[in-house]
Every structure is written in structure tokens, then in C-alpha cells.
């Protein structure tokens, strides 16, 4: 048993080293390297289908005032993001205070978000955060991490007799799908928060509004994070981290 575990761990280490050499890229916006075995373009194909299904099954809100605010604020944020292509914003009639982004520049905003978003500056904080995930290639990174994990398990348990690349290929589709569905890590959320603040400033919005959003969320949650936020940093942590980042950057 001990010897088998040792051999399995060795195989996993070898796989990790191979993947690290073959799929690491430096992201200047993050100041760190990322494991990217799949790119955003590949994910966009999967995401397009998921987005169309969401549009077909979810209830869409046509509230003219809210839709106009989302389009206006979103347009200002994406104009300074440096990301090419057209962005699509859809307002979903859902009481959960949430927003999300999927590859292909698709952003969903729930009507429930406006329980904690009262001003355009605060809305810019949320849209800036979602745009930050795109700039950071977080969807591709989490899909790549899942692919590496699955391929590693296959090789470590001796199921696959082929090479590393074959193992990666076997799990490419699964990795991409899970990459669209898995929640972002706390690290990803914190990175998107910081990028979002930078975008707010570039677009002419007040960065302190990002802190206000999480203060409002904290009040709404009464100290108990909702299910959608269970993998996110706590409201208290986000507030303190945002305050520190805004101060460090000298933003007013």
C-alpha cells in the first residue's frame, strides 16, 4: 500500500511538472503565472450553448430603467477594459443578489442585485468585478486546473497507458464544462475585486462604492453568507481588503 501510494504520488508530480512547463502563462494584470491548458476561445464555444439555454429557460426582466443602467454602466466599464468584442448584458428576474460572467463577454445580472446596489457607482463595482474575471482569464484557469486534476488522477491510478497529452485530451471536454460551472475560488474573487476597482477609476466611477456594495451585502446577509457566496471571501474580508487596496493605490 505504501509503495503504491508513493508511485502514484510520483506520477502525479511528474504530470504536474509537465503541465506546468507546457501550460503556464504570465498574466500581467495579476502579476503571476497561470496554468492555461485551455484558452478563452475554446471555452466560448461551450459557453455559447450554456448561455442560450439560460436565456431560454430563465425569466428575463425587461425593466427599462434597470436595463438602461446596466447597459450604460457596463458600456463605460468595458470601454476601458481593453477587451475586444461585443458585450452582452441580460437582466434576469431572480431575487438572488448576484451577477455572473461567462466566456464570450456574456454578463448576467439578477434583479435581486439591486437590493444591495443603489447607485451607478455601486453597479460599476459589480460589473467591474465581473469584467475582472475576464481580464484575469479565471474561467480558463479553473477549467485547466480541473483538467490537470482529472488527468493526474487517471495517470496516478494507472488507468491510462498512454502519454500525458492523451490523458489531458480525454478530460478536455469535462474540464471545459466544469470550468463553466464551478464557482470561482476565493483567490479569484479577490483578484477580480482589485481589477474591478481599477476599472471603476478608469471609467470615472468612485472606487469607494465597491466597499459599500459589500457593506450592503453584509447587512443583507446578517453575518451569514448565502449559498452563492459560500466559496467567496467573507463580506468582512472583502470590505477590509478593498479598503486596503484603495488606500494603497491612492484612490479617492
| pLDDT surpassing 70 at residue 2 | no
Instruction: Determine phi and psi for 37, rounding to 5 degrees.
Output: -85, -15
Annotation says 189 is catalytic: no
Whether 120 maps to a domain, the answer reads yes
Per residue in 193-242, pLDDT (tens digit) is: 999 999 999 999 999 999 999 999 999 987 555 544 455 678 888 999 99
Domain of 100, in residue numbers:
1-183
Identify which of 35-49, 162-176, 178-192 has the greatest average pLDDT: 35-49
Rounded to an integer, what distance in angstroms lies between the CA atom of residue 112 and that of residue 11? 47
Give the CA count within 13 Å in the CB-facing half-sphere of 18: 17
Cα of 176 vs its chain's centroid, Å: 14
Rounded to an integer, what distance in angstroms lies between the CA atom of residue 246 and that of residue 194? 9
| pLDDT surpassing 90 at residue 163 | no
Q: What percent of the chain has pLDDT over 70?
A: 65
pLDDT band at 151 (very low <50, low <70, confident <90, very high): low
Q: CB within 8 A of 5, min separation 6: which ones?
A: none
Whether 107 maps to a domain, the answer reads yes
Q: How many structural domains is the chain composed of?
A: 1
The CATH number of residue 4's host domain is 3.30.2010.10
| pLDDT surpassing 90 at residue 74 | yes
Helix/strand/coil for 90: strand
Whether 139 maps to a domain, the answer reads yes
Report the C-alpha dihedral over residues 207, 211, 216, 220, rounded to 10 degrees: 140
Query: What pLDDT does residue 34 have?
Result: 67
pLDDT band at 46 (very low <50, low <70, confident <90, very high): confident
Q: Which is higher by pLDDT, 137 or 238?
A: 238
Whether 195 maps to a domain, the answer reads no
Catalytic residue among 130, 141, 154, 189: 130
Rounded to an integer, what distance in angstroms lies between the CA atom of residue 123 and that of residue 127? 6
Rounded to an integer, what distance in angstroms lies between the CA atom of residue 141 and that of residue 36? 5
Of 32, 140, 143, nearest to 151 by C-alpha is 143
Of 165, 189, 192, 72, nearest to 124 by C-alpha is 72
Please state, rounded to an integer, the average pLDDT across all residues of the chain.
77
Whether 117 maps to a domain, the answer reads yes
Cα of 107 vs its chain's centroid, Å: 11
Query: What pLDDT does residue 168 have?
Result: 42
Whether 178 maps to a domain, the answer reads yes
Whether 194 maps to a domain, the answer reads no
Q: Which is higher by pLDDT, 72 or 225?
A: 72
Query: What pLDDT does residue 36 have?
Result: 65
Rounded to an integer, what distance in angstroms lies between the CA atom of residue 62 and that of residue 237? 34
Rounded to an integer, what distance in angstroms lies between the CA atom of residue 164 and that of residue 77? 41
Rounded mean pLDDT, 76-102: 94
Q: What is the 3-state secondary structure (H, E, C) of 137-171?
A: CHHHHHHHHHHHHHHHHHHHCCCCCCCHHHHHHHC
Query: What pLDDT does residue 29 have?
Result: 63
Query: What pLDDT does residue 66 have?
Result: 98
Rounded mean pLDDT, 40-50: 79
Whether 11 maps to a domain, the answer reads yes
Amino acid at each position: 500500500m505504501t509503495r503504491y501510494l508513493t508511485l502514484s504520488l510520483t506520477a502525479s508530480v511528474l504530470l504536474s511538472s509537465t503541465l506546468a512547463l507546457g501550460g503556464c502563462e504570465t498574466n500581467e494584470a495579476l502579476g503571476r503565472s497561470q496554468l492555461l491548458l485551455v484558452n478563452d476561445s475554446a471555452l466560448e464555444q461551450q459557453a455559447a450553448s450554456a448561455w442560450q439555454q439560460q436565456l431560454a429557460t430563465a425569466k428575463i426582466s425587461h425593466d427599462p430603467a434597470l436595463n438602461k443602467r446596466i447597459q450604460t454602466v457596463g458600456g463605460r466599464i468595458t470601454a476601458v477594459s481593453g477587451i475586444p468584442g461585443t458585450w452582452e448584458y441580460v437582466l434576469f428576474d431572480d431575487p438572488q443578489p448576484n451577477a455572473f460572467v461567462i466566456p464570450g463577454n456574456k454578463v448576467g445580472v439578477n434583479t435581486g442585485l439591486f437590493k444591495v446596489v443603489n447607485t451607478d457607482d455601486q453597479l460599476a463595482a459589480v460589473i467591474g468585478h465581473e469584467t475582472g474575471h475576464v481580464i484575469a482569464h479565471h474561467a480558463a484557469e479553473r477549467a485547466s486546473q480541473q483538467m490537470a486534476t482529472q488527468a493526474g488522477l487517471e495517470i496516478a491510478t494507472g488507468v491510462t497507458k498512454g502519454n500525458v497529452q492523451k490523458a489531458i485530451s480525454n478530460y478536455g471536454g469535462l474540464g471545459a464544462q466544469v470550468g463553466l460551472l464551478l464557482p470561482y475560488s476565493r483567490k479569484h474573487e479577490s483578484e477580480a475585486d482589485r481589477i474591478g476597482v481599477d476599472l471603476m477609476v478608469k471609467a470615472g466611477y468612485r472606487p469607494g462604492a465597491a466597499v459599500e456594495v459589500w457593506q450592503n451585502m453584509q447587512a443583507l446577509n446578517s453575518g451569514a453568507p448565502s449559498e452563492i457566496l459560500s466559496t467567496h471571501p467573507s463580506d468582512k474580508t472583502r470590505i477590509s481588503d478593498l479598503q486596503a487596496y484603495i488606500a494603497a493605490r491612492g484612490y479617492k
